[in-house]
């Protein structure tokens, strides 16, 4: 038996250091390491606060940032109330998430300045939108996909797809009000895929893309958890993107084959292939099927959530104003007013590529995230009297303050990256709302959540907008 006093690993009793002395030497060493590491950590945390305070300068915002994560929990569950608090604290305000320093711009002037200063700031939501001269040239080529004659091809598809969906709505929504959230998202996805890819995409693909796309929507936060571990939103979105890209690439290959055979263009991909083959076309001509699929993916990405939000709020604003619903000739004014009242996209993230002297008193540090916000511009009472009321008439008089101040109309952003799909989007909303107004009687089940706003990449009524659609006798 080995006694405690003489353990097998004990130093010989004749040794200068007794066992307990050795242990305490190890303890001291460990303590030293512990204190050194703790001091280092504390220094890092202090440095984090110092850097935040120096960058923030005099801007409103928290005096201290939560160590490491900053306002991560706010950015995971964004609310309109929290955003409003930031917007109302000043035209520029500061925050930090995972040490990304963020400057929020809520006034019309600052928001426009960010989006119109390409030398200082560029979009940073995802890497699908290009920047600089590459962006200008690329965008010029893509405007051919949104000409009047191209929109003419799309209208027929939009009308047909919408009517097919409404035939189903007539069955599903005529008994009692139900949330139109998923139904409207499905309608948008189906319409977009048919407009973009026509018959080059099979029905099963539209179903699969529609289902998997939700993972991409879920990853659309200003700042995500920074690692794409399995199970995280970003990881799931990457897997979904692979599925979507597989189908879109096949569609682009199909379109190239069909156009080479001399077929008539029936969708956006066909229009593009034809434009590239036109001898008068100046610009890059060679695009692989994968590259074309990437562009269509970026359109889907840019449109699906914003269009769903726009259509759902279009329904909600109209169903709550039956007198307006009766006068659909002013459909465009209705669409504009609905988008103004609740812009689907309330802000876009940019990144300061160099120090940006945004005002006389403040220079945004290079590398900061900049967030021009549109809501205040679209609710400015000097331009839109009674800004919280739904008044489409404000768009009918060409001399009205609303029409005289187009710089406040920031639903589509501003500057070189302004939404390229805006005419198509307005047309889509007008078709869906106009057809529904002629085909159905609408009934809104107003709930305590109807006026609450869920921000899920774009904005949605929290109850999903519960409507009963009864088919009209004469359509
Ligand atoms: C109601 C629906 C929509 C809304 C509210 C909306 C809003 C926006 C906004 C705010 C921007 C950023 C502008 C900026 O940074 O200055 C944008 C960019 C963009 N949108 Fe839309 N959008 C909608 C529908 C669409 C559709 C249907 C498409 C395509 C078919 C589309 C394609 C794009 C593209 C490609 C960009 C980036 C343009 C560039 O970087 O040059 N959007 N959109």
The 10s digit of each residue's pLDDT in 107-142 is: 999 999 999 999 999 888 654 566 777 788 888 888
Report the pocket of ligand 1 as residue ranges, CB < 6 Å: 115, 123, 129, 139, 298-299, 302-303, 306-307, 310, 344-345, 348, 411-415, 417-421, 424-425
Pocket test for ligand 1, best of 132, 302, 426 (most atoms within 8 A of CB): 302
Does the structure show a pLDDT above 70 at 333? yes
Whether 142 and 295 have beta carbons less than 8 Å apart is answered as yes
pLDDT level of residue 9 (50, 70, 90 thresholds): very low
> Counting atoms of ligand 1 from 1, which one is nearest the CA of 416?
41
Summarised one tens digit per residue, pLDDT across range 129-186 is 667 777 888 888 888 899 888 888 898 899 899 989 988 998 998 889 999 999 999 9
Instruction: Give me 206's structure tokens.
Output: 């539209």
Residue nearest to atom 3 of ligand 1 (CA): 306
Residue 34, classified by CB atoms within 10 Å of its CB into exposed (0-12), middle (13-18) or buried (19+), is exposed
Question: Can you tell me the mean pLDDT for 11-33?
Answer: 61
> Counting atoms of ligand 1 from 1, which one is nearest the CA of 115?
16
The pLDDT score that the predictor gives to residue 140 is 84
Whether 255 and 241 have beta carbons less than 8 Å apart is answered as no
Measure the CA angle with vertex 229, ends 224 and 231; round to 5°: 90
pLDDT level of residue 16 (50, 70, 90 thresholds): very low
Pocket test for ligand 1, best of 296, 418, 421 (most atoms within 8 A of CB): 421
Q: Could you tell me which of 139, 232, 162, 145 has the C-alpha nearest to residue 197?
A: 145
The pLDDT score that the predictor gives to residue 334 is 87
Residue 419 is assigned to a ligand binding site:
yes
Please tell me the distance between residue 298's alpha carbon and the centre of ligand 1 in angstroms: 10
Summarised one tens digit per residue, pLDDT across range 83-102 is 888 899 999 999 998 889 99
Please tell me the distance between residue 436's alpha carbon and the centre of ligand 1 in angstroms: 25
Does the structure show a pLDDT above 60 at 380? yes
**pTM of the model as a whole:** 0.75
Please tell me the distance between residue 248's alpha carbon and the centre of ligand 1 in angstroms: 20
Pocket test for ligand 1, best of 419, 423, 425, 429 (most atoms within 8 A of CB): 419
Does the structure show a pLDDT above 90 at 249? yes
Number of other CB atoms surrounding residue 54 within 10 Å: 10
CA dist., res. 382 & res. 402, Å (int): 9
**For all residues of the chain together, what is the average pLDDT?**
86
* 452 SS3 class: coil
Summarised one tens digit per residue, pLDDT across range 422-441 is 888 888 888 888 888 877 88
| DSSP run (H or E) holding 149 | helix 148-172
pLDDT level of residue 200 (50, 70, 90 thresholds): very high
Does the structure show a pLDDT above 50 at 10? no
Helices and strands per DSSP (H, E), number in the chain: 16, 10
Residue nearest to atom 4 of ligand 1 (CA): 306
Does the structure show a pLDDT above 70 at 5? no
CA dist., res. 265 & res. 255, Å (int): 9
Partner residues linked to 456 by β-bridges: 458
Q: Could you tell me which of 211, 200, 174, 190 has the C-alpha nearest to residue 267?
A: 200
Whether 446 and 318 have beta carbons less than 8 Å apart is answered as no
């Amino acid at each position: 038996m080995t006694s405690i006093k003489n353990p097998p690993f004990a130093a010989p009793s004749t040794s200068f250091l007794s066992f307990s002395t050795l242990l305490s030497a190890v303890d001291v060493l460990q303590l030293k390491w512990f204190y050194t590491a703790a001091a280092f950590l504390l220094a890092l945390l202090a440095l984090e606060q110092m850097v935040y305070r120096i960058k923030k300068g005099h801007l409103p915002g928290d005096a201290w940032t939560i160590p490491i994560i900053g306002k991560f929990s706010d950015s995971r569950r964004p609310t309109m109330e929290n955003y409003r608090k930031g917007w109302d604290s000043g035209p520029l305000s500061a925050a930090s998430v995972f040490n990304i320093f963020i400057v929020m711009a809520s006034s019309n002037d600052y928001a426009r300045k960010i989006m119109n200063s390409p030398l200082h700031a560029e979009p940073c939501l995802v890497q699908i939108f290009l920047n600089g001269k590459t962006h200008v040239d690329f965008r010029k080529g893509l405007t051919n996909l949104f000409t009047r004659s191209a929109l003419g091809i799309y209208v027929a598809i939009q009308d047909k797809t919408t009517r097919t969906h409404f035939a189903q709505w007539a069955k599903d929504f005529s008994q009692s009000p139900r949330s139109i959230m998923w139904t409207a998202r499905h309608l948008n996805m189906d319409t977009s895929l048919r407009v973009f890819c026509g018959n080059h995409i099979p029905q099963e693909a539209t179903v699969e893309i529609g289902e998997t796309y939700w993972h991409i929507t879920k990853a659309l936060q200003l700042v995500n958890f920074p690692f794409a571990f399995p199970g995280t939103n970003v990881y799931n979105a990457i897997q979904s993107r692979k599925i979507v890209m597989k189908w879109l690439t096949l569609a682009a290959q199909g379109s190239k084959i069909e156009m080479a055979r001399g077929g008539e263009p029936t969708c956006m991909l066909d229009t593009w292939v034809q434009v590239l083959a036109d001898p008068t076309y100046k610009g890059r001509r060679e695009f692989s099927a994968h590259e074309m699929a990437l562009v269509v993916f970026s359109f889907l990405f840019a449109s699906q959530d914003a269009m769903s939000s726009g259509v759902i709020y279009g329904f909600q604003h109209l169903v709550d104003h039956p007198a307006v619903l009766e006068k659909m000739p002013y459909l465009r004014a209705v669409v504009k007013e609905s988008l103004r009242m609740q812009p689907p996209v309330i802000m876009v993230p940019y990144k300061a590529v160099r120090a940006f002297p945004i005002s006389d008193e403040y220079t945004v540090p290079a590398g900061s995230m900049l967030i021009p916000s549109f809501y205040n511009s679209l609710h400015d009472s000097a331009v839109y009297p009674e800004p919280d009321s739904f008044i489409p008439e404000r768009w009918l008089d060409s001399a009205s303050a609303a029409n005289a101040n187009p710089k406040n109309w920031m639903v589509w952003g501003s500057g070189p990256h302004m939404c390229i799909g805006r005419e198509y989007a307005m047309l889509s909303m007008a078709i869906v709302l106009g057809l529904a107004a002629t085909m159905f009687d609408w009934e809104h089940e107003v709930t305590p959540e109807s006026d609450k706003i869920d921000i899920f990449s774009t904005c949605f009524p929290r109850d999903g907008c519960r409507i009963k659609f009864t088919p009209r006798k004469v359509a």
